[in-house]
Structure 1
Amino acid sequence: MFNKIRLWKNQNNNSSTLRDQIETIKTMPVPEHVAIIMDGNGRWANKRALPRVAGHHEGMKVVRKITKLANSLGIKTLTLYAFSTENWKRPKSEVEYLMKLPEEFLGSFLPELIEENVQVQMMGYKNQLPVHTLNAIEKAMKDTENNDGLVLNFALNYGSRAEIVDAAKQVLIDYKSGILKENELNEDVFNSYLMTSNLRDPDLLIRTSGEIRLSNFMLWQLAYSEFWFTDVLWPDFREKHLLEAIEAFQNRQRRFGGI
């Protein structure tokens, strides 16, 4: 009985602390665009002698919590690195499971996203995705297209080098056809050829699991982003960790190459 009371008190105290922390953070500018490399699902599962897919399933639950918190904080865009162009090299069974996750996740979470005024977007190469995966994403995009709150942007079958090469190819095509003149090409124009042309560059990049690299993620867009790395595996990532990352961001001075 006493243990239950103690647990109830601890939960209430934690909730109160989280609310206070959120209110404090909202008194200062929050990053408008947060990008997250969600890493560590497989290691989380291995540590528990579970199949790797169990880690992916647990990680999906974290996406739900972090999306809701980001929306409540007033973050305008949350980009999540869900599947890279290199991830096709993983075992077939794991890839097949990962391709089913958008359908499962959006099938249950979509009504909440609509209620919370979240707009779903996707960047990546759609033509290689299974039909059922693409249908789930496109349904979510269509059903939320009129929402004007947080943009939940999934980087799915995405690779930054391929994105930049494809942008350069399109620049050449437009130059040869006379649509684009040589003296018109600058950073802003090149940016318009990227998959993120409708989004501002990330202000903050978060990567979980202790890895300190970009893994072919938004190489152009992250040029002046603030980086925050944590050893926490993605399935163990909690609201407090996102708040910690934002607090670190708020305590940094961004100079963009100036003094």
Structure 2
Amino acid sequence: MQNSDRSLGRGLLYRMYQRRLQRGLGPGSVPRHVAMIIDGNRRWAKQLGYDTAAHGHRAGAAKMREFLEWCDDLGIRVVTLYLLSSDNLSNRAPDELADLIEIIAELAEELSHYRDWRVQHVGSDAGLPEPLVAALDAAEHRTADKRGLHVNLAVGYGGRTEITDAMRAIVAAHHAEGRSLEDLAERLTPDLIGEHLYTGGQPDPDLVIRTSGEQRLSDFMLWQSAHSEFYFVEALGPDLRKVDFLRALRDYAKRHRRFGG
């Protein structure tokens, strides 16, 4: 068999396997909210011999739009993409950070014109350059009335900072109402804190996925993921395949969620 024939055969088997995985997902087995830690873009670029990490970040951004399409087509309602942590603002080389900021701004612009998706920035503006903040704000404003897939872009995001900001907002509102410290202690509940997170009003992620084989949260959605299921994929971010995602959903569907039990 010639190489082209073998490639065609492998492609056919791959598509058949992909369809079988997708048919196996029942209507109640698909999570409402999937959170994705896209990791491995720099390693991908280095392995392919590129001279800068920007090639990997661009490939990762393209994969994230494809990933969102998979989610939308399967009926998932909310997706959160971890694109830039608050720690990245200080631990990345200036040239790489500048490229990454430009890529994220372009992605936000692109997603805000795609399908019926609603784009929301979840994170802090602190430390972000003004053009990126403007791009995120514009995407959020442009899609505010859309009712399709809800896409959270976690940019300038840190889980501990998010919880701190929520507590500050609660205390500030309580103080403005002239209430006592004792009253605040009585009113303070997990539900109240959840309402003041960047994702307030949204369901917590049912499934958190991370690419590149790393098995850690990296300060991502610490509060919201308290009862989430986790799935770690060996593939580097740009190499993620739909089959990998469907396997994650199949694994999720088989789990018995105990919610702390």
Length-normalised TM-score, structure 1: 0.90
Mapped partners of 1:147, 1:61: distance in 2: 22
| Long gaps (5+) in structure 2 | none
Q: Any conservation in 2 of the 1:124–1:155 contact (CA below 8 Å)?
A: yes
Mapped partners of 1:25, 1:103: distance in 2: 34
Please state if 1:166 is matched with 2:165.
Answer: yes
Q: Any conservation in 2 of the 1:26–1:73 contact (CA below 8 Å)?
A: no
Please state if 1:226 is matched with 2:223.
Answer: no
SS of residue matched to 2:230: strand
Any residues of structure 2 matched to 1:76-87 within 5 Å, and which? Answer: 76-87=77-88
Who is 1:200 aligned against?
A: 203
Q: CA deviation at 1:107?
A: 4.3
Map Cα deviations across residues 145-194 of structure 1 (whole Å, 9 max, x no partner): 22212111110000111111122222222333336632222111111111
Q: CA deviation at 1:109?
A: 4.8
Map Cα deviations across residues 82-127 of structure 1 (whole Å, 9 max, x no partner): 000000121000000011012333444543x2x3x21111101124
Please state if 1:125 is matched with 2:124.
Answer: yes
Aligned length: 255
Length-normalised TM-score, structure 2: 0.90
Sort the Cα spacing of 1:192 and 1:96 in 2 relative to 1 into closer, same or farther, 3 A: same
| Long gaps (5+) in structure 1 | none
Q: Any conservation in 1 of the 2:111–2:117 contact (CA below 8 Å)?
A: no
Sort the Cα spacing of 1:27 and 1:200 in 2 relative to 1 into closer, same or farther, 3 A: closer
Any residues of structure 2 matched to 1:235-254 within 5 Å, and which? Answer: 235-254=238-257
Who is 1:214 aligned against?
A: 217
SS of residue matched to 1:153: strand
Q: CA deviation at 1:198?
A: 2.2
Mapped partners of 1:146, 1:179: distance in 2: 35
Please state if 1:153 is matched with 2:156.
Answer: no
